[in-house]
Structure 1
Amino acid sequence: MKTNKTNEHPMQQDEIYELVATQLSDALTADESRRLNEWIGASEANREEYDRLVEVWNSTPDVSQLSQYDRHKAFAMFLERIQASGVVPAAKAADVVADDDADDVQPEAIGMRRYVLRFMRYAAVVTVLVCACSYLFYNIGQRNMSQAFAMIKVEAPQGSTTKMTLPDGTEVWLNAGSCIEYSQGFGVSDRHVQLTGEGYFEVHRNESMPFIVKSPSLNVQVLGTKFDFRDYPSDHSAMVSLDEGSVAVGLRSAHDGDYQYRLAPDQRAVLEKRSGNMRIENRATTDRLWTDGTIMLNGRRLADIAVDLERSYGTKILIENRELAQTRFYGVFHRKDQSLSQILATLAATGHIHYAINGNVVRIYR
C-alpha cells in the first residue's frame, strides 16, 4: 500500500494557498514544489481543489495586477505598518533589507522578509478568492432576483382609459379594454413589456437598453420615441403607428430580435392577421387622438366604429346585417362631452341607420 509522506505532516489550508499562489505568481523552490506535488497526488479531492484554485486565479480579471506588484515598495510599506502596529520591534523591522541582491542581509532579516512575502502572497490569494466568490454570488443573486420578480399588470377597463408611468420614466396611455404587463425588475437588465389591446407610448430614451413591446401578433423595439400600438385579440388587424423617432417592427412568430420593418414618422405598419400580410403606409392623421377622449370615424366601417364605441362606453352593440356593417361614416366626437346616445343619434341623422337601446345592449338596424 502506497503511503505519502505528506500524510505524516498534513499541510494546513493556509500552506496550500501559499504554495499555489507562489507557483502562479513567482516560482517555487525545489522543496516547495515537491511538497505541493505530493499534496496534489495524495487524493482526487486534492487534485480537484488544486484545479479549482488555479481556475479561480486565472478567471479573476485583476489577478495579473495582484501577482505583478512592486515588491520593493510593497515590502517597505508593509514593514512600516508592522513597525507602526508594534507587532515586531522597530529595531528588528528596520534591519530587514528589501533589496533581493543585498549581500549583507542577516539570516534573521532574510527569514523575516520571506515570512512577509509569503504572507502577502497568501493575502493575494485570499483577495482573489473573495473577489471571485463575491462576483459569483452577485451574479447568482442577480439571476435569482430576476427570476423572483413578480409581474405587474395594469388594466384599463371597458369605458375608460388609463395613463401610467413606468419605472424608467416612459409614459403609457392604455385604451379601453387594454392591459400592459411588466416585471418588477423592469429596467434592471431589460425594458420589456407585454401589451394586449392598444397603448400609446412616449418612451424614455436609453441607448444601452432598448425598449421592447410585445403583443400577441407583433414585436416593437425602440430606443426613445412616440408611437401607438394596437393589437386587440378580437381585431382582424394589428397596427403600429409612429409619431416621432424610429421603431423596428417584427412578427411575433419570427425569431427574437428579428425585426423586418422600420418605420419613419407619420408611417404605420398594418398586419392582417388572417393572411399574415404586412403593409407600410403613410397616414394623414394621428392615431393617438383617443388618448384625450377623441373618437374619429374618418370614413371607417360601422363594424369597426361599433367596436370602438363598445370599448369606450362599456356596452354591447349588435348590427343587424353584414351589408349595414360595411357602411362608412365620417365625424369627430369626444367621449367626455358626448354620450353614446348622442353619437348614435348623430349617425342616425344621416338616414342610413336606426337604433334601439335596451339596458346595456344597442341594436342597430335599417
Structure 2
Amino acid sequence: MEKNDRIWQLLARKLAKEATDAELDELAALWKQQEGDAEIAAILEKNWQTFPEVDMEFLDATYLLHLQRMQEQGIVMGAAHHNDTLNAPADHIHPKKSTFKKYLIAGMLPFIIILLAAGWWQFSKKEQQTIVLPVTQSVEIPNEIVTKNASKTKIILPDGSTVWLNADSKLWYYKSFGNVQREVYLTGEAFFDVTKNPAKPFIIHTKLTDVRVLGTQFNVRSYPNDKTVETSLIRGLVQVTLHSRPDEKYFLKPNEKLVVLNVPDSVNTPKNIQPVIKNLDENIVAIKNLTPLQQDDSLKIETAWTKNRLCFTDESFDEVAHQLERWYDVQFVFKNDKYKNIRLNGSFVNETLTQALDALKFSTNFHYEIKDKMVTIY
C-alpha cells in the first residue's frame, strides 16, 4: 500500500474512532513526513465533530465529480481510491473499502480545502506545483489594447473592422465578440471604420454612453477627465444611448456629433440635487455639427488626430492642456487658475511642445516653464 493511501486509511479510522493506539502512533509518524499536512488534518478533525448529518448520496456524487475533474487535470488519486470509486459500480463497493470515502465527502462540502489537499497529497512528490481545480464558470480574460501618451495604434478586429486608437486610450473585447453581436469597451478616444453586418450590430460601451452601429465611420472620445463625452459621425448612421436615460435614443447623421456633459455619478445623484440636474438637461446632451478646419474644409477638427494633427477651437486652456498632455506626454500645472479659462484656438502638426506653447501665448499673456515632463503655467 502506498504511504499516502495508508495516511488516508488511518485518518478515516481515527475520525471513526476505530483506530488502535498503534495505528494512531503510525499516523503521527507519517504526518511528520508530510510537511504542512498535519495542520490541514487538524482542521478536518476539528470540524468533523460539529458537521451536521448530510445526504450521503448527494455528497457521494459530488465527490466522484471532483475526482473525475482532478483526473482530467492529471491529478491521479491513489490506486485503491481509483478502483473503488470511478471504475466500480457503487453497489459493488465493499463497505470497508468505502469507509474513507464516506468520511471525506461528509467533510468536503463546507471545507473544499480538504479536497484540494487530497489532490496535492496524492500527486507525485517528485515535482511540487500548484494545482487549481476547474470552476463551474470560468472568468473570461478580455483582449486588451492600450496606448500611452504621445502614441497611437491601429487595430484590426476579428470581424475586419478597423480601429485607430488615440493616445492614453484603452480598447478591450471578449472572446465572445461576433458570436451574437460585436461589443467593445473604450476608455479614451478611437476612430472606428466598422465592417457592415446587419445581423450582428456593433456596440461601443463607454463610461456614459453606448454607441450602436451597423456599418459606418465615426469617432468616440471618452476620456475620464474631459468635461464631455463625444460621438462624431462621418459616414452612415449611429444610435447613442445614455446610461442615465436608457429609454432615450439619439440618432446622428453624417457631420453631426453628440456631446454629453461628463457629470460624475449623475445616475446616482442625491434627490436634493435632482431638480438642479433636471434644469440642466438641455445642456447635458446636445447634437452639434462637426467643426471643419479653416485650412481644409474636408477635414474635421473632431477627427484631425487621425491625420496626425492636433486641433482645437474656442476651447478653454484647461481642456487644451489635457490634449497637450496626451499629445506630448507631459503634465500641466497651473499656478494661477485664471489661465484655465482662457479660450484658445490652435492647429499643430509637427511643432514641438515649445513651439506650440509659444504660438498659444502669442495672443495671451501667460508664461510657462518646462522642467523634465512638467509644464508650469504662471
Q: Which runs of 5+ in 2 are unaligned?
A: 1-134, 264-276, 293-299
Q: Which runs of 5+ in 1 are unaligned?
A: 1-143
Structure 1 counterpart of 2:357: 344
- Give how far 1:172 is off: 0.6
Deviations along 1:47-79, whole A, 9 cap, x unmatched?
xxxxxxxxxxxxxxxxxxxxxxxxxxxxxxxxx
Is residue 2:334 matched to residue 1:355?
Answer: no
Structure 1 counterpart of 2:330: 315
TM-score normalised by structure 2 residue count = 0.55
Counterpart among 282, 285, 290 of residue 283 in structure 1: 290
- Give how far 1:222 is off: 0.2
Max Rg structure: 1
Is residue 2:238 matched to residue 1:247?
Answer: yes
Is residue 2:314 matched to residue 1:299?
Answer: yes
1:79-228 aligned at under 5 Å gives the runs 149-228=140-219
Distance change >3 Å, CA 284–CA 146, structure 1 → 2? farther
- Give how far 1:279 is off: 1.0
Alignment identity in percent?
Answer: 33
Q: In 2, Cα distance between the equivalents of 1:246 and 1:236?
A: 25
Deviations along 1:179-227, whole A, 9 cap, x unmatched?
0010123112220000001111111100000000000110000000111
- Give how far 1:146 is off: 10
- Give how far 1:328 is off: 1.4
Q: In 2, Cα distance between the equivalents of 1:188 and 1:149?
A: 15
- Give how far 1:148 is off: 6.3
Q: In 2, Cα distance between the equivalents of 1:169 and 1:273?
A: 31
Q: Secondary structure at the match of 2:351?
A: coil
Structure 2 counterpart of 1:267: 256
RMSD: 2.1
Runs of 4+ aligned residues of structure 1 deviating over 6 Å after TM superposition are 144-148
Q: Contact 2:140–2:175 at 8 Å: present in 1 too?
A: yes
Q: In 1, Cα distance between the equivalents of 2:377 and 2:192?
A: 34
Q: In 1, Cα distance between the equivalents of 2:331 and 2:324?
A: 9
Q: Contact 1:160–1:313 at 8 Å: present in 2 too?
A: no
Deviations along 1:309-363, whole A, 9 cap, x unmatched?
00111110112323211111222101xx221111112223334221101111001
Structure 1 counterpart of 2:272: none
Is residue 2:315 matched to residue 1:326?
Answer: no
Q: Secondary structure at the match of 2:313?
A: coil
- Give how far 1:158 is off: 1.2
Q: Contact 2:194–2:215 at 8 Å: present in 1 too?
A: yes
Structure 2 counterpart of 1:82: none
